[in-house]
Amino acid sequence: MNASAVTMDTKPSTGTKLAYGFGSVAYGIKDGGFQYLLLIFYAQVIGLNAQLVGLAIMIALIADALSDPIVGYWSDNFRSKWGRRHPFMYAAAVPVAISYYFLWNPPESWSNTQLFWYVLLLSILIRTFITIYETPSTALAPEMTQDYDERSSVISFRWFFGWLGGNTMAIAMFILIFPAFVTAAISNGQFNRDAYAFYGVIASLMMFAAIMISALGTHHLIPKLREPPAKRRITPGLMFREIFETLSSRSFAALFFASLLGFIASGLAGGLNFYFATYFWGFGPEQIGLISICVTFSTFIGLFLAPYVTRTIGKKRGAIIIGLIAFIGSPTPIMLRVFDVLPGNDSPFIFWFVLIATTIDVGLIICYQILASSMIADLVEQAELKTGRRSEGIFFAATTFIRKCGVGVGIILASTVLGIVGLQSGAGQGDVSADTLWRLGAVYVPLILALWMTMIAVISMYKLNRAGHEENLRKLSERASKN
């Protein structure tokens, strides 16, 4: 153990938190693109069958299942003059940007089969390169502070910028880019492939900048971070045994499966978000853009609420209470429309009701995600007591995998829902029947509620609280003083 890490300040400076958090803009843009734009772009604009898009994402997830734990374990044991994490962060910047650019610029006049392989290859590449950056980068959080409350503060910056980055691109798409790509032949720029090509350029540049700014802004921490274990011969068998040993705890299993269910629900909601906005509610690009602007305020709700909840009622209890409020409220507007309680889409009330409900609900969901991620960070010391190894990379590789896998499975579910309800690829706004839209809401609401409520039940099995975390720190301090 690096002795300087033990005495490292428990409260990183605001500048360090900002630099650490800003790095998640790259993941936020990628996540927003995959959740909100990828399915509608390839299915409705390019014309690729929605189920083929879902299949490509599912296959890419299998590759993720291998790359995530390998990168996490590798970064825990990596030795360099720049420490364990930063070499990965710097190395990923250019590949992330290039692969994301090409995802939004598919060749024209290709067959469905060719486009399927194109989406599949680019999905695997961007997910792998994001893993190489995101896992070592997020793994810095438990090293930056051991304090129970401060960890929620540090991680809140990460989630704040992740949501802000993805949401800023959504605002730009609907307020600026889509309106700029309206033509005589295409009255809604949302259905113009050139708009997505332009998005690919801007988003790729922003992802590159976010990664480099975060890596450079946290570079000064390198001398204070944990050193890797002594050199040893690592075999695949040893690697997977140690990964399993590190993650084999009831609390981690509860968080893992709860978070997986949560991100599946998020992927489902994200994959259908613009379908609901465009077809179900009949909003135009400017209205969707205004909702995205208001969701920016949601990020501030999460940023300030999560540390407050941690200090007052604790992470687990806070996650359950906040989660129940958020996840019951999330599908409420759609449920009310399915039961014909709301007025028609021509009523101004509809837009403002959806806007306000979405803004509050997203803020609560962000708060929940911060609390769950901070709970993962607290398991690092518990695992260290058990194994004698610092394994931040493995834990945050698991969280990176959960996010990508959950969202990916959710998007696959979204494409399946579209197939079940009969919403055809290439359909324009106003071309979808009222019966199809009713079926969309009637299938979505019970499915999303089942995922959210099961997640809350599973997370209740998490056991580590503030007292347990402080006891783990005390035991580690005693062990260090004896060595």
pLDDT one-digit tens code per residue, 124-156: 999 899 989 999 999 898 888 888 889 899 999
Mean pLDDT of 165-192: 87
Q: Which two tokens stand for residue 312?
A: 């007052």
Q: Does the structure show a pLDDT above 50 at 3?
A: no
What is the pLDDT, as a whole number, of residue 360?
93
What is the pLDDT, as a whole number, of residue 234?
66
Least confident window among 72-76, 413-417, 479-483: 479-483
Question: Is the CB of residue 76 less than 8 Å from the CB of residue 68?
Answer: no
- How far is it, in rounded angstroms, from Cα 52 to Cα 112? 8
Q: Does the structure show a pLDDT above 80 at 242?
A: no
Q: Does the structure show a pLDDT above 60 at 398?
A: yes
Which of the two residues, 175 and 446, has the higher pLDDT score? 446
- How far is it, in rounded angstroms, from Cα 423 to Cα 412? 15
pLDDT band at 232 (very low <50, low <70, confident <90, very high): low
Q: Which two tokens stand for residue 210?
A: 């976010």
Mean pLDDT of 344-355: 92
pLDDT band at 1 (very low <50, low <70, confident <90, very high): very low
Mean pLDDT of 187-208: 93
Q: Does the structure show a pLDDT above 80 at 429?
A: no
Question: Is the CB of residue 175 less than 8 Å from the CB of residue 167?
Answer: no
Helix (H) or strand (E) holding 410: helix 392-421
Mean pLDDT of 372-400: 83
Q: Does the structure show a pLDDT above 80 at 66?
A: no
Q: Does the structure show a pLDDT above 90 at 425?
A: no
Question: Is the CB of residue 237 less than 8 Å from the CB of residue 416?
Answer: no
What is the pLDDT, as a whole number, of residue 116?
94
Q: For residue 201, with 0-12 CB atoms within 10 Å meaning exposed, 13-18 middle and 19 or more buried, which class applies?
A: middle
Mean pLDDT of the chain: 87
Mean pLDDT of 178-182: 91
Q: What is the pLDDT of residues 307-337, one digit of tens each?
A: 999 999 999 999 999 989 988 888 899 999 9
Mean pLDDT of 93-104: 96
Q: Does the structure show a pLDDT above 50 at 6?
A: no
- Give whichever of 1-5, 119-123, 226-230 has the largest mean pLDDT: 119-123
For the chain, report the end-to-end CA distance as a whole number of angstroms.
Answer: 10
Q: Does the structure show a pLDDT above 80 at 455?
A: yes
pLDDT band at 198 (very low <50, low <70, confident <90, very high): very high
Q: Which two tokens stand for residue 366?
A: 């962000």
Q: Does the structure show a pLDDT above 50 at 5?
A: no
Give residues with Cβ within 8 angstroms of 126, minimum separation 6: 30, 96, 99, 100, 103
Distances in Å between the alpha carbon of 190 and those of 131, 382, 426, 433? Answer: 30, 48, 12, 20
pLDDT band at 236 (very low <50, low <70, confident <90, very high): low
| Residue whose C-alpha is closest to residue 309's, from 254, 358, 375, 264 | 375
What does the chain come to in residues? Answer: 483
Distances in Å between the alpha carbon of 396 and those of 31, 231, 243, 301? Answer: 17, 22, 12, 24
What is the pLDDT, as a whole number, of residue 275?
86
What is the pLDDT, as a whole number, of residue 311?
92
**Does the global pTM surpass 0.85?**
no
What is the pLDDT, as a whole number, of residue 218?
94
- Give whichever of 162-171, 334-343, 426-435 has the largest mean pLDDT: 334-343
Mean pLDDT of 238-250: 74
What is the pLDDT, as a whole number, of residue 426?
66
CB atoms within 10 A of CB 260: 20
| Residue whose C-alpha is closest to residue 67's, from 134, 119, 142, 140 | 134
What is the pLDDT, as a whole number, of residue 399?
77
Of all residues in the chain, what percent carry a pLDDT higher than 70?
Answer: 95
